[in-house]
Amino acid sequence: MKCEIAREPGWLRVSVGPGLADEVQECYRAAAMECLRNRCERVLVLGVATFDPTAHLAGRDALRSLALAGVPGGFRLALVALTPDLIAVYDAAVLEAERLGIDVRRFMVEEDAERWLES
């Protein structure tokens, strides 16, 4: 399982997957906790799914937790679907984020996500 959470200049970078459902879910929970502890304003999530892409719905659940806890003004989350089977899952997270009033976008390329986070 790959779960890397790193502070980079300008944002928190999270790499999730591939992994089993419980591992993927734990990674999203850990990223949300890190974000809450450090009052992150920008987050970049790079997702990979090889088994069950629905495990990445845990990212949507983590968004709900962030919204309930309160995110800083101007908060942005960029989701990068590194495997095609994550597109629909991340699109569902974007729709949930819109409902929660959180600025989230889905990308296919990391560089596009970074440009948006920097803007």
User: Which region holds residue 10: left if phi is over 0, alpha if psi is between -120 and 50, else beta?
Assistant: left
Give residue 51's pLDDT.
82
Domain that holds residue 23: 3-118
Contact 49, 83 (CB under 8 A): yes
Can you give the pLDDT of all 119 residues of the chain as single tens digits?
Answer: 899 999 999 999 999 999 999 999 999 999 999 999 999 999 999 999 988 899 999 998 898 989 999 999 899 999 999 999 999 999 999 999 999 999 999 999 999 999 999 99
Q: How many domains does the chain have?
A: 1
Q: How far apart are CA 45 and CA 116, in angstroms?
A: 13
Strands (E), 29-119: 42-47, 76-81, 103-107
Q: What is the per-residue pLDDT for 82?
A: 97
Give the amino acid at 51. F
Using DSSP's 3-state secondary structure scheme, residue 87 falls into helix
The pLDDT value given to residue 11: 97
